[in-house]
Amino acid sequence: MVPQAPGSATDNIARLIAPELARQLGQPAVVDNRPGGALTIGIDAVAKAPPDGYTIGMGPVGALAITRHMVAKLPYDIERDLQPVALITTGYMLLAASPKLPVRSVEELIDYAKKNPGKLSNASFESTNSIAPHVVAGRVRALAVTGLKRATSLPRVPTLDEAGVPGYEVTAWTGVIAPAGLPRPVLDRLNAAVNAAISEPQAKQRLAQLGSEGGGGTPEDYAALIRRDSAKWAEVIRRSGARID
């Protein structure tokens, strides 16, 4: 289950990893897109599936650590109803601008915005793995990445810290989740399959091209990451007052 539409960053990773996962498990792996509801529709489908290992889902940071604090009434409880299996990849977000805009750095963007109040519009670009190809093709101009170090897929693009905005760090990650109550032998088999799949040379190379900064580990590692980032974003959202009704 993918809680986003085809062509999204999460979907790209799911379709990349599915063939390798199928080979590791000896079972077909079918990608089922369930977008909508601020990522809740797809996650709910996983939460309510039988805990037998045959229904698994993609668990991106947006669903597991961000929108949970913005949606008033989730149809599931992330800690109670979902079982983290394994992290697939981590990456960064990208600050980018239209090539038509006369800015080539974060400093120039800030200066332009100050001199032209109300004239800029913005959208929430996705992680580097979905937008990097547009940078390479020249459709957008990369200004900075949101990690503490430069992205492997865009080594010439500075971090926001390097570009004059200190202390800025946002990571974009996704992994495999399953319904809670999964028997430990099944969980361990799925975890081993994900770790093996992302270690396959072809998959590893493709993930690197998409901007992956690493993945893998135990279910407990993934659960700890979810808890840590959920606490961080809960505070950010509380201060901002952002809500999704």
Task: For residue 62, give the CATH number of its domain.
Answer: 3.40.190.150
Number of domains in the chain: 2
Q: What is the CATH number of the domain that holds 144?
A: 3.40.190.10
Do 13 and 85 fall into the same domain?
A: yes
**Which of 139, 169, 199 is the last residue in one of the domains?**
169
The closest alpha carbon to 2, from 88, 92, 75, belongs to 88
Indicate whether 198 belongs to any domain.
yes
**Along the 245 residues of the chain, how does pLDDT read in single tens digits?**
999 999 888 998 999 999 999 999 999 999 999 999 999 999 999 999 999 999 999 999 999 999 999 998 899 999 999 999 999 999 888 999 999 999 999 999 999 999 999 999 988 786 776 787 788 889 999 999 999 899 888 889 999 999 999 988 898 899 999 999 999 999 999 999 999 999 999 998 888 877 788 899 999 999 999 999 999 999 999 999 988 87
Residue 14 is assigned to a structural domain of this protein: yes
Prediction pTM value? 0.85
Whether 130 and 13 have beta carbons less than 8 Å apart is answered as no
**Beta-carbon count within 10 A of 114 CB:** 8
Do 190 and 210 fall within a single domain?
yes
Residue finishing a domain among 128, 148, 169: 169
| Cα–Cα distance measured from residue 131 to residue 73, given in angstroms and rounded to the nearest whole number | 31
Domain span at residue 44 reads: 9-90+171-240
Q: Which of 152, 169, 186 is the last residue of a domain?
A: 169
Any domain includes 176: yes
